Structure 1
């Protein structure tokens, strides 16, 4: 990809798109094999992502930091990130490259498929010198059709 794209932003976007396409397909496998029921809140959803999905597919269990006042912003803290096990440092001249955008895309795609659109970003990355890898998840508010129908 580094050879195919001119700058880091294009590579990061491509990695996110790849991840999104994986997430769109992976959610079906996850729902079939995990046996979970419908989550009742954003915090429960993030808990399932951390404790079940990451364990199933990456063999790790990130810790969660949750909730702003609106209850729709959360962070997953990865003490270990298997995606970067074989990467010692970013290529020279590529300071804004984010290999982990693949994970952002996977989460975004899977959440979208269960009608929970979200913005998923990397807040911290060990490859860039941070102490931990932190993934930020902001659930985008959706219109509640039931409420709007009652108000008519």
Structure 2
């Protein structure tokens, strides 16, 4: 990665639909060179995919909740896989202590969220601890870029 690649990535993070001509104009390079650099970034795995960023509120998903679970280590992966398949779960991470899951859910109402936790989380002996917080406001959010 060099400065040109970093600048190119910044353009694509803002607008993954930017044409090679637009990229070339912004970076003062040829369209062919822009295409070659993008293809190289894709082939090297730096760019994993081009995708749309969807506004969940426009889809009626207005309740954004973050859940931290402590799980019996032997059941960590099965529970992670089960929850990851739920439509309410938009992201799920296994944390470094190897007993915690960090989960982000989007639902259309508190009632829908309540039904999700009652069905999937409550009354499960392998789930040892639950911490749950609902988003009040976004100050900064990631629209593309590193998944770290």
TM-score (norm. length: structure 2): 0.33
Structure with bigger RCO (C-alpha 8 Å, 6+ apart): 1
> Rg larger in 1 or in 2?
2
Structure (1/2) with the larger helix percentage: 1
Structure (1/2) with the larger strand percentage: 2
TM-score (norm. length: structure 1): 0.33
